[in-house]
Amino acid sequence: MTLIRLLKIVAAVARNRLDNLIDLERSPFWLRCFLILLPWRYFIRNDAPRGERIRLSLEALGPIFIKFGQILSTRRDLLPDDISDELSRLQDDVPPFPAEEAIGIIESSLGNDVDTLFARFDREPLASASVAQVHTARLHSGDEVVVKVIRPGIDRVIRKDIGLMYLFARLLITLSKDARRLRPVEVVADYERTIFDELDLLREAANCSQLRRNFLASPLLFVPQVHWDYCRTKVMVIERIYGVPVSDIATLKAQNVDMKKLAERGVEIFFTQVFRDRFFHADMHPGNIFIDTTNPAEPRYIGIDCGIIGTLEPEDQHYLASNLLAFFRRDYRKVAQLHVDSGWVPRDTPVGELEAAIRTVCEPIFEKPLKDISFGQLLVRLFQVARRFNMQVQPQLVLLEKTLLNVEGLGRQLYPDLDLWTTAQPYLEKWMKDQVSPIGIACNLKEQGADWLLSAPVMAQKVMSTVRTLVDQQQAFHHQQVRAEKRQQKQRRFGLLLLLAGVAVVAASGSLFVEKELLDQSMLGILAAALGGWLIVR
C-alpha cells in the first residue's frame, strides 16, 4: 500500500514537473545527474507558475495532503508569497463516507442505537471534510443538533501519509541547503500535532465550550452549546446553528446588514480573544463563520469548528501589544529592544542592526494610506526579519499570524475600506492602560492572590529546604577546610623531617669521601632536602 502511495506521489511530481523547482546550478553534481536522467523531463512540459503546480500536486494526492497544504499556506514566515497565496486556495472538499459507517461509529461510541439516542437522525450528511463529516439530528428534548463523526480509518491513512511526508522532508534537507532554511521536518511535525489533535473530538468540544463561555453575554459572537452526554473521542453533538455564511456577501447585503460594523466587529472579536482571554479560534476561514442577521444593524458572528485553538502566555500578550503600539508610533528602536528583552532573539543581538532591518521593511509599508496597510502582512515581515537574527517563531505566534491574516482578509472582503489600524489602535491603547492602572493592578492581585495564599506553605517549605541546604553546604565546606588545614600541617611536619634528614645525609656524605668516588648518599640527601623544603612552602 505504501509503495502504491509512493508511486502516486511520483506521478504527481512528474505531471506537475515539481523537479523544475530545484535549481540545477546550485545542486551537487550527483543530484544534477539524477535530475537529468528523469525520464519525464523529455516528454512532459508544464510552464504553469510554481505555486499552481504545487497546489495541483497536493490536490491530486488527496485530503491529507490538501490539509497539509492549507496549514502550510499559513507559514508565510517561511514560504514565498506566491506559493502561500496559491496554497490558500486549496479546498477541503471530500466525498462523504456511507451513512451506515457513521451510524456504526456513533452507536459503538455512545453504546446505543441511533433511533434510541435521537428522536430523528438524518442519514444524508450535511457536510463532509477530510477528517470528519456532519449529520443533522434532533434530540428527544426537541433540540436540533449536528452530529460530527470522525472518518473511519482516517488515523491509519494519516500515519502513512505523514510517514511519507517525513521521508520527503528529510530528503529535502539532504538535497538542498535552501530547504534547510524552511525547516521541513519541523513543519511536518507541526502538522502532525495539529491533525491528530483534530481527531480527538472531546478536545474540540472542550475548546467550543470554553469559547462559548468567554462570549456568553456578548453581542459580538455566538458559539453553539455542546451536549456533553453525547460526546466521545470520535463523536461530538452540538447545537445546530442557523445563519448566513460570511462568504455570501450578496445575501448579507440583500438583508441590509451593516457591512462596516460587521467588519469592525470581526476585528474586535479577534482582539478580545487575544488580549482579554488569551484564547482564540485559530481556524477562522469563511467555512467556519456564519452571520446572525436577525438584527441587520447589529450583526452577530457565529463561530463553529473549534478543532484548532491558540493560547497565549501573558508574556506573549505583552510582547504583541507593546510591539504593535510601537509600530503604530514608528518607534523601531523600541520594537528592536522589545525583541531582545523578551528573549525572542539572542541577548547578544546588536539592537542597532535589528532596528535598521525593521525600519527597512516597515517604512515602505507606512508610506501607504492606513486603510491600505495589511496588519497581518506586517506581522509576517516582522517575523521574517527577526528570523534573520535567529528568532525562532513560536507555534502560538504562527497560529496568531494565520488568524490575523484570515480576519483581515475577511474584514476587507466585507468592507473594502476597513481601516484595521484605526479599529485596533484604541483597543490596544486601552488594554495597555488598563494593565497599569490601579484598577488593573488590583484585579491582577485579586486573581493571583488566592494562588499566592495557597502556594505560601509550599513556598515556605521550599525556602526552609533551601536554607537547610545552604547551611549544610556551608558546614561541609567548613569541615573540608579544617581537613585541608590538618593535611597541610602534616605535610609541613613531614617536609621538615625530610629537610633535616637530607641535610644530615649531605653533611655525612661530605665527610666520607673515598679517594676516587663520591658516595650516592649525598645525591639522595640533596633530593630529600629539596622535597622537604617544597612540602614546607607549599
Query: Which residues belong to the active site?
Result: 283
Angstrom distance (rounded) from CA 520 to CA 510: 11
> Any residues with CB less than 8 A from the CB of 331 and at least 6 apart, and which?
none
| Cα-based angle 104, 109, 114 (whole degrees, multiple of 5) | 55
Angstrom distance (rounded) from CA 199 to CA 187: 19
Angstrom distance (rounded) from CA 335 to CA 385: 12
3-state helix, strand, coil in the chain (%, to 5): 65, 10, 30
* Beta-bridge partners for 235: 149
Distance of CA 538 to the CA centre of its chain: 59
DSSP character at residue 228: G
> Any residues with CB less than 8 A from the CB of 163 and at least 6 apart, and which?
2
**Cell numbers given for 372:** 491600505
- Contact assessment for residue 273 and residue 399, using Cβ atoms and an 8 Å cutoff: no
* Beta-bridge partners for 311: 279
Distance of CA 269 to the CA centre of its chain: 21
